[in-house]
Chains A and B, each alone.
Chain A
């Protein structure tokens, strides 16, 4: 028996290698659909895990090796401390402590890269075990292959990932693996004499059929998809739904002009706003407003755009010369279908370059209007900008002496603003000494205190209600407009000049299908769903500094600080908050990708994040439960052998015998209810080629039908039973 298995074993390993190749296909898209960097290192780690699983080392040896490897990966990429120094341990401990706390309070967004990477590595580790089990132990690979196809298909359809290469690779690998697996099944328990020859006879046709079908499939003309691309369809469906609702106050995500009445739910709109190629990703600014009416935002005066020429300085000065900057360039390719009559620009914009589009700017509000967009809808424009880097220490030490004009204009609040808003502002900001700390305290305030990101069921304030007051004290649910308006109002109530800014988030990384991305730039797709609003706080010596109060979004602006670089920088630099917390093996990537979309789509809402985070652990639990269920005879057998070997109770024989019956039934030798144990034992013995089952059964009959004491019989029979169990289980 063992020898036969040995003969088949190398075939199994071949299948296992195929499994690794398939799993690699799962990892490949990650750098496109998420901002996972250093993919190679994860692939190497996975490969080592697979190898160690295949080597069948003692469990503690392979555990130790994998653990060491994991530490090395983390050390090289994420830990600055020296290995095994005191501070190293402190670092690890505090990281774990903080992140576990975050995990249990549900603030997955704030998890640090270290912890996310750690969880991801553990996930890969577990996957190697799972696939080892699927591919080698039970020789069942079909499920994983199907899952891989579905995964690639979904990514190809719903993201920018191009799966056409992957699908061919997956096809080749999986069909080869299935062919080999069938061979292994066929020859399981057969004579091994002709075996090598059979492998040749098998694999030559297999390989040639594969090669031919792949070549034909690749070369043959392909019909265009018979079904329409589901993405716009799904979007239209949801749009229709919303039109049907037809009530006032529904906001459509996307850039809109009129903000004088905010509130109400909105619909997602995923149509493309523009493509951008940029050297530094960040928010795209479009507009700012200064007057809060209690219902929404308006301007204190009409915008007065001054026309300018391509190459002129536009004069939108958001910061002073005290701020460190870096010269960058970006190109914006507006969508043909989307006629946005505003130009978008990153922080620190200097000049626009464009052939055809004439434009005018109101530098005060930061509005850049185009004149002939309708004429040249697809005209792209290049932006030169100085990417600012705000120094936190400077911000802290900034003077609080605003010029009266600015102070008056940007601390405006409606007269009938409820008093409790002011009290709350007082309470939140009392802890901070500097304007920066106060602003930070307000920004952080929304992360706790029961606020939830949600796009549905957002109330519209009644006539006698204040929009911000309603959000702060009553509904506590909302999206970016709620969060940003509330922050501005709170800051103003605390006598800090602040304003409300609109624009787009950085968008999703992706490859622009029509234009190749210039060297040194990365390409982003910005949809109407990426429309966003945030906050700018005025610092007299620095200028207008962006803040991001909305849950699930991270401020893309760069902040530096000497003192707490370690804490501040990584947080601030994360351009899109990715939540990589523990994810189940299979659904991991789609989920992550989905989150990406949601985050980037402005609509990182707790309504969809929170259920999602329940879904992931429950999916993990479900998979674990299913795995346990499908492997139940494996671990039950091990458990019962261990248990009954030394147990000598009156019922042991009976229980052990019945477990053997169950196991045999599971293996396909079912005793039908009218069959006597003796007859059954004879058929089993014929199957195994010995007399052990009959021996065991005769003993059992004496216990069963003669009421004999079973303990002495069990002592004699335990070895027989163990042999049978092992034969049955193998």
Chain B
């Protein structure tokens, strides 16, 4: 990843904090923060044991949010996600026991292991920002951030997410393995005491909400919007693409770019933001033709081609029009 100037001070505090428990992995951290600040959600696709959970937990602790975890299994029911009302014999009333989705930061582990019914309960909540339990609409917590994981290796007995559902995740990331040096450091750190306990909050929930608001106010120049639209257009007409970027994808691209610019302490978006984020925003939103897939084309490589094909705007609108 291209290093784009320095981070916003608050962001850099969070990153330092998370780095206490996760060695390296700056890219997933920054991208997760991007999604968090943009009010989106992240789909982490990687093998077990690379620190997905640790990442979410430390992130949650750093921003002083409560952390909930749902381990998806084939027999999990939607009510296990949303919560359920239970009759309390003492008060003679049904009491609502909130499910894990009502937390601020939710880790949906191995989301593809559960039935589509349960999956959609989560995904609907992510989109609507509220849940309906027994006829009552209940707002979700604010901030609300879902980090779903799925295991790309073990497909036995899984229900892979339909494309329409994938679209609800702002970014799709991979953790990747640490390098040898990082792994050594990690072993050292684990040696004494589980480091998660060392993570202390570095900001309040209110600060986070304020940051989200500020990120949303980042300026996007018309040329940048044009650039995003150009990318979307070209993705729809590309010969290797079966299904191009949806308009929701364009919006997601812009939101993510704003947050990314904010993280890098800028109040305006530059084409580099778009370029850096494009593989993570566009990759899971574009369906390749099967011929192209058989030829070994991956969505990431396709996005790279799209980026090369679209002219970066380097002139101001006024000059451009002349």
B residues at A contact (CB < 8 Å): 2, 4-5, 219, 221, 223-224, 267-272, 275, 307-316, 318-319
Closest chain B residue to A675 by CB distance?
A: B312
How far is the CB of B22 from the nearest CB of chain A, in Å?
Answer: 28
Task: Return chain B residues, CB-CB under 8 Å to A701.
Answer: 268, 270
Check B2–A678 contact: CB distance below 8 A. Answer: yes
Check B219–A706 contact: CB distance below 8 A. Answer: yes
Check A654–B316 contact: CB distance below 8 A. Answer: yes
Check A705–B269 contact: CB distance below 8 A. Answer: yes
Task: Return chain A residues, CB-CB under 8 Å to B309.
Answer: 674
| Those of A654-673 within 8 Å (CB) of chain B | 654, 658, 661, 672-673
Check A705–B267 contact: CB distance below 8 A. Answer: no
Check B272–A678 contact: CB distance below 8 A. Answer: yes
Check B268–A706 contact: CB distance below 8 A. Answer: yes
Task: Return chain A residues, CB-CB under 8 Å to B269.
Answer: 705
How far is the CB of A654 from the nearest CB of chain B, in Å?
Answer: 6
Please tell me which one of the listed residues B2, B221, B311, B319 contacts residue A705 in the complex, with CB atoms under 8 A apart. Answer: B221
The answer to whether A375 has its CB under 8 Å from any CB of chain B is: no
The answer to whether A704 has its CB under 8 Å from any CB of chain B is: yes
Contacts A702-B268, A705-B268, A706-B267 hold; do A677 and B312 have CB atoms under 8 A apart? yes
Give the complex CA separation of A678 and B270 in angstroms: 9
How far is the CB of B249 from the nearest CB of chain A, in Å?
Answer: 19
A672, A673, A674, A698 pick with most chain B CB within 10 angstroms: A674
Contacts A679-B272, A704-B315, A705-B268 hold; do A674 and B308 have CB atoms under 8 A apart? yes
How far is the CB of A717 from the nearest CB of chain B, in Å?
Answer: 16
Closest chain A residue to B218 by CB distance?
A: A706
Give the complex CA separation of A330 and B258 in angstroms: 99
Contacts A651-B319, A678-B2, A704-B221 hold; do A673 and B270 have CB atoms under 8 A apart? no
Contacts A705-B224, A707-B221 hold; do A676 and B315 have CB atoms under 8 A apart? no
Give the complex CA separation of A651 and B267 in angstroms: 22
Task: Return chain B residues, CB-CB under 8 Å to A675.
Answer: 312
Task: Return chain A residues, CB-CB under 8 Å to B275.
Answer: 676
How far is the CB of B266 from the nearest CB of chain A, in Å?
Answer: 8
Check A679–B2 contact: CB distance below 8 A. Answer: yes
The answer to whether A703 has its CB under 8 Å from any CB of chain B is: yes
Give the complex CA separation of A468 and B272 in angstroms: 85
Closest chain A residue to B314 by CB distance?
A: A677
Task: Return chain A residues, CB-CB under 8 Å to B223.
Answer: 704-705
A residues at B contact (CB < 8 Å): 651, 654, 658, 661, 672-679, 698, 701-707
Closest chain B residue to A678 by CB distance?
A: B272
How far is the CB of B265 from the nearest CB of chain A, in Å?
Answer: 12
Give the complex CA separation of A216 and B313 in angstroms: 61
Give the complex CA separation of A701 and B4 in angstroms: 13
How far is the CB of B226 from the nearest CB of chain A, in Å?
Answer: 12
Contacts A705-B223, A706-B267 hold; do A658 and B311 have CB atoms under 8 A apart? no
How far is the CB of A217 from the nearest CB of chain B, in Å?
Answer: 52
Check B307–A674 contact: CB distance below 8 A. Answer: yes
Check B219–A703 contact: CB distance below 8 A. Answer: no
Check B221–A658 contact: CB distance below 8 A. Answer: no
A-B contact pairs, 19 of them (CB 8 A): A654-B316, A658-B314, A673-B310, A673-B311, A674-B307, A674-B310, A674-B311, A676-B270, A676-B275, A676-B312, A678-B2, A678-B272, A698-B5, A701-B268, A702-B268, A704-B315, A705-B221, A705-B224, A705-B268
Closest chain A residue to B276 by CB distance?
A: A676
Check A658–B312 contact: CB distance below 8 A. Answer: no
Task: Return chain B residues, CB-CB under 8 Å to A702.
Answer: 268
Give the complex CA separation of A389 and B167 in angstroms: 108
How far is the CB of B304 from the nearest CB of chain A, in Å?
Answer: 9
Give the complex CA separation of A40 and B177 in angstroms: 82
Contacts A704-B221, A704-B223, A706-B219 hold; do A676 and B271 have CB atoms under 8 A apart? yes
Give the complex CA separation of A46 and B318 in angstroms: 53
Give the complex CA separation of A654 and B270 in angstroms: 16
Closest chain A residue to B2 by CB distance?
A: A679
Give the complex CA separation of A702 and B307 in angstroms: 22
How far is the CB of B181 from the nearest CB of chain A, in Å?
Answer: 26
Task: Return chain A residues, CB-CB under 8 Å to B267.
Answer: 706
Check B221–A706 contact: CB distance below 8 A. Answer: yes
Give the complex CA separation of A661 and B313 in angstroms: 14
Task: Return chain B residues, CB-CB under 8 Å to A678.
Answer: 2, 4, 270, 272
How far is the CB of B209 from the nearest CB of chain A, in Å?
Answer: 25
Check A703–B272 contact: CB distance below 8 A. Answer: no
Task: Return chain A residues, CB-CB under 8 Å to B221.
Answer: 704-707
Check A703–B316 contact: CB distance below 8 A. Answer: yes
B5, B269, B314 pick with most chain A CB within 10 angstroms: B314
B223, B270, B309, B310 pick with most chain A CB within 10 angstroms: B270
Check B319–A654 contact: CB distance below 8 A. Answer: yes
How far is the CB of B296 from the nearest CB of chain A, in Å?
Answer: 22
How far is the CB of B277 from the nearest CB of chain A, in Å?
Answer: 13
Check A673–B315 contact: CB distance below 8 A. Answer: no
Closest chain B residue to A707 by CB distance?
A: B221
How far is the CB of A255 from the nearest CB of chain B, in Å?
Answer: 71
Give the complex CA separation of A654 and B4 in angstroms: 22
Contacts A654-B316, A678-B2, A705-B221 hold; do A672 and B308 have CB atoms under 8 A apart? yes
How far is the CB of A40 from the nearest CB of chain B, in Å?
Answer: 59
Give the complex CA separation of A645 and B314 in angstroms: 22
Give the complex CA separation of A637 and B267 in angstroms: 34
How far is the CB of A508 from the nearest CB of chain B, in Å?
Answer: 61
Check B319–A673 contact: CB distance below 8 A. Answer: no
Task: Return chain A residues, CB-CB under 8 Å to B268.
Answer: 701-702, 705-706
Task: Return chain A residues, CB-CB under 8 Å to B271.
Answer: 676-677, 705
How far is the CB of B293 from the nearest CB of chain A, in Å?
Answer: 24
Q: Which 7 A-B pairs have the closest CB atoms?
A: A706-B268, A674-B308, A673-B311, A705-B221, A676-B271, A676-B272, A705-B268
Contacts A674-B308, A674-B309, A706-B219 hold; do A658 and B270 have CB atoms under 8 A apart? no
Give the complex CA separation of A221 and B268 in angstroms: 77
Give the complex CA separation of A654 and B308 in angstroms: 23
Task: Return chain A residues, CB-CB under 8 Å to B312.
Answer: 673-677
Task: Return chain A residues, CB-CB under 8 Å to B311.
Answer: 673-674
Task: Return chain B residues, CB-CB under 8 Å to A677.
Answer: 271, 312, 314
Task: Return chain B residues, CB-CB under 8 Å to A673.
Answer: 310-312
Please tell me which one of the listed residues B5, B272, B307, B316 contacts residue A704 in the complex, with CB atoms under 8 A apart. Answer: B316
Task: Return chain B residues, CB-CB under 8 Å to A674.
Answer: 307-312
Give the complex CA separation of A566 and B271 in angstroms: 79
Give the complex CA separation of A679 and B223 in angstroms: 18
A677, A679, A702, A705 pick with most chain B CB within 10 angstroms: A705
Please tell me which one of the listed residues B5, B224, B315 contacts residue A654 in the complex, with CB atoms under 8 A apart. Answer: B315
Closest chain B residue to A682 by CB distance?
A: B2
How far is the CB of B225 from the nearest CB of chain A, in Å?
Answer: 11
Give the complex CA separation of A706 and B271 in angstroms: 12
Give the complex CA separation of A702 and B316 in angstroms: 11
Task: Return chain B residues, CB-CB under 8 Å to A651.
Answer: 318-319
Closest chain B residue to A653 by CB distance?
A: B316
How far is the CB of A353 from the nearest CB of chain B, in Å?
Answer: 86
Give the complex CA separation of A707 and B315 in angstroms: 11
How far is the CB of B269 from the nearest CB of chain A, in Å?
Answer: 6
Check A705–B270 contact: CB distance below 8 A. Answer: yes
Task: Return chain A residues, CB-CB under 8 Å to B319.
Answer: 651, 654
Give the complex CA separation of A702 and B268 in angstroms: 8
Give the complex CA separation of A701 and B314 in angstroms: 9
Task: Return chain B residues, CB-CB under 8 Å to A672.
Answer: 308
Closest chain A residue to B311 by CB distance?
A: A673
Give the complex CA separation of A658 and B314 in angstroms: 9
Give the complex CA separation of A674 and B319 in angstroms: 19
Task: Return chain B residues, CB-CB under 8 Å to A661.
Answer: 314
Task: Return chain A residues, CB-CB under 8 Å to B224.
Answer: 705
How far is the CB of B289 from the nearest CB of chain A, in Å?
Answer: 23
Task: Return chain B residues, CB-CB under 8 Å to A707.
Answer: 219, 221, 316
Task: Return chain B residues, CB-CB under 8 Å to A703.
Answer: 316
Give the complex CA separation of A672 and B312 in angstroms: 9
